Structure 1
Amino acid sequence: MNGERNTALGAFLRTRRALVRPEQAGLSAAGRRRVPGLRRDEVAQLAGLSAGYYARLEQGHERPTHQTVEGLKRALRLDEQATVELHRLARPTARRRRADRVERVSPHVLALLDDWTAAPAYVLGWSGDVLARNALAAALHSRFVHGDNLHRMIFLDPAGAEFFRDWTTTARAAVDDLRQATAHAGGERALRELVGELSIASPRFRRLWAGPEHRGAVTWGSHFFHPDVGELDLRAEIFLIASAPGQRLVALPAQPGSRSADALVLLGTLAT
């Protein structure tokens, strides 16, 4: 393998082996076990691998062959969807890796954001990076430390649990969104590093990422809380930007005449 670590594969393997009880794999659960689920050496034994090779897989230093993936499938008792995810993460990149793309928001879209004063609006990049915001969105997100990426806001930022009132719905939508990004640009280093970062730092992300893939339309949460103006019920409207494939303009308007609409006006006033 080349010098780049496959951190997403390692996070997946660690998560899945923690979900398998020793007795499910025909192993003795007697005695003190320092880790939940299976140990590394047990997975290696069940998959027909050396302990050192499996350890390097979890560390992201090896890319498994098809035969190795099949052995891991049996050892980790993966269902069909989890097996598909394992094959995707293990897929070798035979072609020369492209340089990570640099995303910029066009002047026309920036002008549109500046003119959009009735609702929070921002531009998302292909991996969930927040590329630009209007003033109202900046005020809405003012409590976030990890405001550079929507996925970090949801899973890593202390403000996220309070801000996203329907957190579970939002988290599932974020994972589905990230899966779509990896399906189209899985070779991008920044994307692999983001998945690895979230997998290591957020147990809830690990469980959702390792779980079954959602079927059907992605539904984002619509209920938010800002400490200065209280509860907000906002409708998420997402527009694809044709001139920049992968970029999306997200607007969060409130129902006209509602308490949430009044709260947005107050928020804009406080920000000014």
Structure 2
Amino acid sequence: MRFVIVTGMSGAGKSTALKMLEDMGYFCVDNLPIPLLPGFVQMLQNTDTEMKKVALGLDVRSGQDLSGLKENLEAMDRDRIGYEILFLDANDAVLVKRYKETRRQHPLSGSGRVDTGIAKEREKILFLKMKATYILDTSKMLTRELRIELEKIFVDGQSFCNLYITVMSFGFKYGIPQDADLVFDVRFLPNPYYIDTLREKTGNEAEVQDYVMQNDKGRIFLDKLKDMMEFLIPNYILEGKNQLVIAIGCTGGKHRSVTLANALYQILDKEENYGVRIEHRDIGKDSITKRK
């Protein structure tokens, strides 16, 4: 039997993850009161049960005092009862934004501010994150990207580390991404903007890609960037980092940065040891600015 405890920050996507696991053939229970956990686990130990894959949602809604959950997990460890913990997380700014969009109240904020409730929750569930088998940061994940990651872990049985990488292109004139961990400037490369036939195209199109990469500078930069990632990523994994944003910028975020971001994404996407996504933050802003 495979027993997965789904937990993490409120607003990080636990309910969505449980629905996805249900679609993958898991028997799912959400918001089980913590005092009922020992009986639930005992039921699962019954060899006659038909439930071979079970996902249980547990978080601060199951009781604000989570000390009972900690004791239950320790008892399961002593009894050698197998379980996995899937911890869903997101940065504070994203969580606040999600709560504002849904107009929901954080379970620990009471009549106070959402960010106060988030801070309290992080402190209360830190022990769960420390025990987590898998940590997924959904700050930049689309719903379909979350499903892909869950399928890798719980359907395909692929090896998994807790690092999820976002490769992002951007334009310096619109500001450096605030959440970027690594920033690379490719404004030294020839600019397709000054070629009439390429100005309205983007780095997603072959003509622009060929122009940017046809010179030695573009190819050498990509090779050196690849070498750097091969060194850095395994060390980030060892450090326990679970979210890495690699930002590549040019002037407007439409040609050169998009081309290099796509090229790096294609290199990283071949690996199965971590998740990776591509985002072109400013690819359409140049034409919007011109219309204004």
TM-score bracket, normalised by the shorter chain, equals under 0.3
Q: Please give the TM-score of this superposition, normalised by the length of structure 2.
A: 0.21
Q: Please give the TM-score of this superposition, normalised by the length of structure 1.
A: 0.22
